[in-house]
A and B are shown apart, each in its own frame.
Chain A
Amino acid sequence: MMNTSGRTRMIAYRLLQAIPAIIGIVIVSFILTRALPGDPAAYFAGPAASSESIEQIRRTMGLDQPLPVQFLAYVKDLVTGDLGHSISTGQPVLTELGARLPASLELTGFALLFSMAVALPLGILAASRPNSWVDHLCRFVVTAGVSLPVFFTGLALVYLFYYLLGWAPSPMGRIDILYLSPPKITGFYVIDSLLAGDLETARAALAQLILPAITLGLFTLAPIARMTRAAMIQILEGEFVRTARAAGLSRRSMLYTYALRNAILPVITTLGMVFSFTLGANVLVEKVFAWPGIGSWAVEALVVSDYAAVQGFVLAMALLFVTINLVIDILYTLIDPRLGMES
């Protein structure tokens, strides 16, 4: 093909561009946590500690060293995969991240799947029939989605489906206490239990997941539906769609092959932004459903100046952001042939 090499080069270039971003993230996460108020050594020593023992702890933690030395030590640890120990739990940060990040990813992933499953068809239908009842429904859902706070929708859903109807299991974490968590392979309970062939556990994990995912999904579907509708409306008014109409193409191929494939580009961008945003910001949902996610963990760590944990959180999130952006960029080049040709 004419521009395959152009695309490959473009993707390679994007990958290279990620490197300075990662270096920047490492530096910023280090400085940011050092700039936090509070003295971790004092916290670690406890309220009864004397100033000598605090000093002692400060030394063992390396906090008496000048910042550049601390930074080098930090980078060295990072390279070996050592993110330090959480002060409050005593666990290695990497282990905690390994346990908590999949929980958040699972929740956010399902929430996005749910919101896409609702928002994309809604947006497309609304765009193809402006001012019809679908369009009004779309507008209503979008407005409701952004204006209802997640803790409210979460509590309302729990009240309705758990307390009143009893359809949902108790909103207590990732799996009902009657079940054992599946052997860890990916960290996603639903997938792990399926891999282990344990349908019963998979069902239980999924049941736990549904309400928090819908809660979060109701919030995230608003920007996706809105963007889908706007992009589709713009494309459907375009000249090439008129050509497709004049050529007698069916409504189906006009909407999907012609309009949606062009309209999907801005939707993907929105999706990436929403994903990155909700991953770190779903603390409220995690609190309501006692979900052991990374958001609530980070907030707790922040409150007690547990900076190894905060640092690990910032680093993990930033790397995720970079990865997501990279994936979106690459998706873009795959969908839009025009992109490989610049440069």
Chain B
Amino acid sequence: MTVPLVDIRDLSVEFNTRRGTVSAVKRVSLQIAKGETVGIVGESGSGKSVTSYALMRILDRAGRIAGGSVVFGGVDVANADKRTLSELRGREMSMIFQNPRAALNPIRRVGQQIEDVLLEHGMAKHGNARDKAIKMLAAVRIADPEKRYSAYPFELSGGMCQRIVIAIALACRPQLLIADEPTTGLDVTTQKTVMELIVELARERDMATLFITHDLGLAATWCDRILVMENGEVVEAKPTRELFAAPSHPYTRRLLQATPHRDSRVCDLLPVDDPRRAVPSTAAPGKPLLEVKAVTKRFGGASSRPAVDALSFQIGEGESLGLVGESGCGKSTTSAMIMRLLDPDSGQILFRSDDIGTVTARRFASHPARRSLQMVFQDPTDSLNPRWSARRSIADPLYRLAASSRRAAERQVNELAERVGLSNHLLERFPHQLSGGQKARVGIARAVALSPSLLILDEPTAALDVSVQAVVLNLLVSLREQLGMSYLFISHDLNVVRLVCDRVMVMRAGQIVEQGPTASLLTHPSHDYTRTLLDAIPHPPASSRQPREAAT
């Protein structure tokens, strides 16, 4: 066998923290051949990113390689000196990151940032650096590269920023590209084009790729081989096809199960013996609860393109409506107007036939309908007051909108916590002491505290690991059943929407391009845009269903 490009053997990485040494990666071995695409899949805290950081030797100050060997192209990276490392990084191996906008220097022109790398590694001289940078911009398919050369990151979209990061990473034609969740946070269609770009450039240059992701579907679509990591250990490593056909480790099976497939129901995401499994209701929706009539909102002058353009729809009592669209399509503006956080320019918002659109956003807090409308936000961390305990966050609406007595509120909080599956001892904790899933539960408990009739869910699971997402989605489905709520479920992920919604609307540029019952819309989309969205979703191979069922 030929010598692999990357040869990691028994790698262990430790971090010094205030509570002592934490072992983040435990005896991980990984080989990557030239031109091969290898995926590392795992949830947060699995050590997948740390492994790649160790390979680049860009661990934080607190982290260190505690054992094992890391060899890249014959060079002992683990013990290399600074000079060798700076020659390797950027020239022989490069990395692209999650959150591309933050990964770029905010006050330096993007073209200059590409030049910096070219000049550093002697791939260009001051005379031709600009030309080479522009060529690189063209190589990552940036339209009008001459003009974009002098743009700043804040002037570009997330997808464009990721292309710039890719341009920086590939400027010196490295042999290995490490992609650390490169498309998390991007729209599905952007994700697809970015992934295609990476794969195409990798093939063109015979470059090996180490692809790190939490998304099994994505890994299945693009990788030759996949390693599954859990708690710093590789639990399974197999060629992609084999992994999905016959996952041998229980954790892999659990992960596969929690990933929404084209044909899974929400309860399929959890093992059959899990008491948290929920059965979606099939009851027909009641009379209209919320009617939105020709609502328009512009953020610029009268001539600007409206963010929401004469939008009309309704939600019935007990109905769950999905609102799907890519970033900038106006879905968040719509939800903010329904929650009366923004005033619409024109149109009506009828809640139980009462026009709440005429109440100004400022005064809506004291409106009687306010307690019937609640919201669950996307980021479970940022939407909680960091200085409030979970108990206080959940109790807040009870004090503010229901004027509950202290004792009654206390009792209600305990009930709510039980309802959302939050153990009692967690209630005294502060957000930073809770996990992502626990914080999401606090956010949900807070939103359902007043038994609202309409719950607006703005990408409630986007920041969660798949296994946590599976639990939260089941929780949402059963809560809706128990409390008879209606949902407006906002997401960019059609797969998730399909699991919890009766009806779906697809939104684009402030308008609805298509709507209909979930099942028929997603199986027979009539609009091209819906089809594009559906096609862009990466799926794990469907064959994984059988072994999973057999195993459980």
Contacts and interface: CB of A to CB of B under 8 A. Distances in A.
B105 A262 contact: yes
A246 interface: yes
Given A2-B155, A338-B152, A247 B168 contact: yes
Contacts of B105: 240, 243-244, 258, 262
Contacts of B94: 246-247
Contact of B97 (A1, A239, A249, A335): A239
B90 A240 contact: no
A51 interface: no
Q: Give the most central of A3, A249, A257: most B CB within 10 Å.
A: A249
A238 interface: yes
B120 A240 contact: no
Contacts of A261: 107-108
Contacts of A336: 106-107
B86 A240 contact: no
Given A2-B151, A239-B97, A253-B116, A248 B102 contact: no
Contacts of B150: 1-2
Nearest to B178: A246
Interface in B37-80: 56, 58, 61
A251 B106 CA distance: 19
B498 interface: no
Contacts of B169: 246-247
Nearest to A243: B103
Given A239-B99, A257-B116, A250 B86 contact: yes
A98 interface: no
A249 B102 contact: no
A243 B88 contact: no
A338 B101 CA distance: 13
Interface residues of A, number: 27
A337 interface: yes
Contacts, number: 87
Best-surrounded residue of A239, A240, A242, A336 (most CB of chain B within 10 A): A240
A239 B103 contact: yes
A249 B90 contact: yes
A245 interface: yes
B117 A338 contact: no
Contacts of A250: 86, 120
Contacts of A243: 95, 97, 103-105, 165, 168
B172 to A, nearest CB: 8
For chain B, give the interface size range: 20 to 34
B91 interface: yes
B25 to A, nearest CB: 18
Contact of B103 (A3, A240, A262, A338): A240
Interface in A317-343: 335-338, 341
B155 A246 contact: no
Contacts of B103: 239-240, 242-243
B106 A262 contact: yes
A130 interface: yes
A251 B116 CA distance: 12
A248 B87 contact: yes
B392 to A, nearest CB: 29
A337 B107 contact: yes
A338 B107 contact: yes
Contacts of B106: 240, 262, 336, 338
A121 to B, nearest CB: 21
Interface in B321-345: none
B87 A239 contact: no
B56 A246 contact: yes
Contacts of A239: 97, 99, 102-103
Interface string B91-134: 10011010100111111100000001100110000000000000
B92 to A, nearest CB: 9
Given A240-B105, A242-B97, A248 B121 contact: yes
Nearest to B83: A250
A57 B455 CA distance: 78
B86 A248 contact: yes
B89 interface: yes
The 9 A-B pairs of least Cβ separation, nearest first, read: A248-B90, A248-B89, A247-B90, A246-B95, A239-B102, A243-B103, A240-B105, A247-B117, A337-B152
21 contacts: A2-B155, A238-B102, A240-B105, A242-B103, A243-B104, A243-B105, A244-B105, A245-B89, A246-B56, A246-B89, A246-B97, A246-B169, A247-B168, A248-B91, A253-B116, A258-B105, A262-B107, A336-B106, A336-B107, A337-B154, A338-B152
